[in-house]
Amino acid sequence: MHHIPPTPSMAVAREEAENVMFGALDNLSANTKIKPKDIGVLVVNCSLFNPTPSLSAMIVNKYKLRGNIRSFNLGGMGCSAGVIAIDLAKDMLQVHRNTYAVVVSTENITQNWYFGNKKSMLIPNCLFRVGGSAVLLSNKGSVKRRAKYKLVHVVRTHKGADDKAFRCVYQEQDDDGKTGVSLSKDLMAIAGGALKTNITTLGPLVLPIIEQLLFFATLVVKKLLNAKVKPYIPDFKLAFDHFCIHAGGRAVIDELEKNLQLLPMHVEASRMTLHRFGNTSSSSIWYELAYTEAKGRMRKGNRVWQIAFGSGFKCNRAVWQALRHVKASHKSPWEDCIHSCFMDRQVVAEFIRMLDISENSRIEAPLLQYLSIMIQNMDNEHAIYYCFSNGYINSIILHPYELDGGDLAPYYMSFLRDMDTQKRRNGLILESDKIVDELYYLKDILSVDEP
């Protein structure tokens, strides 16, 4: 894709696949010291690029894996295929004792870039980026002390029987014969339905008994009494310490944050992965786990919930438990930037969240002055991105101020100017068009009184 004009040839697509997969596997080998001959199971998933010989065969050839290896190549299963691959590897390890299984998750961009003009097929061009991961699983008792995590649950939901769900992410040709992946406008609603079904299955396995009783009681009242009772949303923060939500897009992360009643810190890894690496398809949940490790937040006994969505339509979940305090791996994807990520965000956005400002709150000039100073001193791209992508800063912008001729108006003007400067300098956008319009509208009004 770096050629002008682009040359999406088979040779270049193979080169991309080799660079990603072999790079991830070399890093895995360096961190685990595993020898290629010790690998008994190999599972590779890549949705849109399936050459012959297969990607798994390319790995076998490159690393000269043993002749009796159980190798699998999963294609066309979308962004949730990483969890499916983990589930397959788990099943294989239950049958074949004392062995290692390697799961490689990737997606190929070269031959799947859309060159047409159909809007629904152009969206993936904006989201998807090159990426990949390699995960080592084992059922050997001797490696338990070295293992990072234990796989606790895998829950899979498939909505393919429904026609709308089946076609909401669909590879097709446009009227000009150009191939691409079309995203339906019903995608978010279908994803929500798949999530609800999946949670219904997963909930009893992980939630405390009190949360299960509250959920069941609400369901009984609604069914038996036909009452318009608002569905009870279980508090999954009581069951999990970390959340790895597929970085499919900002709308996906926002919706899950809202529906699962999560805090910004719970979706921080997902937002950062989307910003830093884009949508890397099935491997995105592993970039998010690596982010949590690099931040030093993974402690022994912590539970991780990986949430993935994919074409079909599928919603898959994996639950892991940390067996020890986990540090960042050598050559982690976050190695070059993790120490500067989000330090400013924790000062600004979290500070505003803790203030719990409502429409009835009175915001004084000193607070706006303090926020302006902090925003002026934000020089980290990742921190700025997060601060501008959540609702807390927006609540300050849209607050119903009483601009009665006192000293509040100049401070508010200064606050808006600092926000606008950061936004323009970093090419960022706020939460919604409404807020952006409001920001410029208020600036125009207040500029009248400026000298």
Give me the amino acid identity at 197: T
Task: Name the token pair of 420.
Answer: 């606008």
Average pLDDT over residues 217-243: 81
pLDDT, tens digit, for every residue of 238-249?
999 999 999 998
Which pLDDT score is estimated for 390?
57
Name the more confident of 252 and 230.
252
Q: Residue 282: is it exposed, middle or buried by C-beta count within 10 angstroms (0-12/13-18/19+)?
A: buried
Which pLDDT score is estimated for 200?
85
Average pLDDT over residues 323-342: 82
> What radius of gyration do the chain's Cα atoms show?
24
**Band (349; pLDDT cuts 50, 70, 90):** low
How does the average pLDDT of the chain come out, rounded?
84
CATH 3.40.47.10 fits 10-152, yes or no: yes
pTM of the model: 0.77
Would you say 57 and 20 are in contact if contact means Cβ atoms under 8 Å apart?
Answer: no
| Cα–Cα distance measured from residue 20 to residue 38, given in angstroms and rounded to the nearest whole number | 22
Which pLDDT score is estimated for 395?
75
Pick from 54-68, 78-92, 114-128, 327-341: least confident: 327-341
Average pLDDT over residues 92-113: 94
Q: Is the pLDDT of residue 124 over 50?
A: yes
Q: Residue 247: is it exposed, middle or buried by C-beta count within 10 angstroms (0-12/13-18/19+)?
A: buried
Identify which of 98-102, 191-195, 258-262, 354-358 has the greatest average pLDDT. 98-102
pLDDT, tens digit, for every residue of 153-182?
999 999 999 999 999 999 999 999 999 999
**Band (54; pLDDT cuts 50, 70, 90):** very high
pLDDT, tens digit, for every residue of 22-44?
999 999 999 999 999 999 999 99
| Cα–Cα distance measured from residue 87 to residue 243, given in angstroms and rounded to the nearest whole number | 19
Name the more confident of 435 and 199.
199
| Cα–Cα distance measured from residue 103 to residue 84, given in angstroms and rounded to the nearest whole number | 10
Pick from 116-120, 155-159, 325-329, 345-349: least confident: 345-349
**Band (443; pLDDT cuts 50, 70, 90):** very low
Provide long-range contacts, Cβ within 8 A and 24+ apart, for 337-343.
Answer: 337/276, 337/382, 338/291, 338/294, 338/295, 340/380, 340/382, 340/383, 341/272, 341/295, 341/380, 341/382, 341/383, 342/268, 342/272, 342/380, 342/382, 342/383, 342/386, 343/380, 343/383
Strand partners, 149: 322
The backbone torsions φ and ψ at residue 24, rounded to the nearest 5 degrees and listed phi first, read -65, -40
Percentage of residues in the chain having pLDDT higher than 70:
83
Which pLDDT score is estimated for 168?
94
Query: Which ranges constitute the DSSP H helices of 207-355?
Result: 209-224, 250-259, 268-277, 284-294, 343-355
Task: Name the token pair of 70.
Answer: 């159980």
Which pLDDT score is estimated for 344?
45
Pick from 71-75, 115-119, 183-187, 418-422: least confident: 418-422
The backbone torsions φ and ψ at residue 130, rounded to the nearest 5 degrees and listed phi first, read -70, 135
Would you say 331 and 361 are in contact if contact means Cβ atoms under 8 Å apart?
Answer: no
pLDDT, tens digit, for every residue of 354-408?
566 676 777 888 888 777 777 776 665 556 666 666 566 777 777 888 776 677 8
The CA angle 29-35-38, to the nearest 5 degrees, is 125
**Band (440; pLDDT cuts 50, 70, 90):** very low
Q: Where are the domains of the chain?
A: 10-152, 153-322, 339-446
- From the list 113, 19, 14, 92, the residue with the least C-alpha distance to 54 is 14
| Cα–Cα distance measured from residue 376 to residue 445, given in angstroms and rounded to the nearest whole number | 23
Name the more confident of 218 and 439.
218
Average pLDDT over residues 131-160: 95
Element (H, E) at 87: helix 81-95
Q: Is the pLDDT of residue 448 over 80?
A: no
Look-up: residue for tokens 């100073």?
373
Name the more confident of 442 and 206.
206
CATH code reported for the domain at 153-322 = 3.40.47.10
Average pLDDT over residues 277-296: 94
Look-up: residue for tokens 């203030």?
355
Pick from 88-97, 137-146, 156-165, 332-341: least confident: 332-341
Which pLDDT score is estimated for 16?
94
Which pLDDT score is estimated for 449?
41
Residues belonging to the active site: 79, 158, 242, 246, 275, 279
**Band (203; pLDDT cuts 50, 70, 90):** confident
**Band (336; pLDDT cuts 50, 70, 90):** confident
Identify which of 107-121, 146-160, 263-277 has the greatest average pLDDT. 146-160
Pick from 95-104, 111-120, 226-235, 431-440: least confident: 431-440
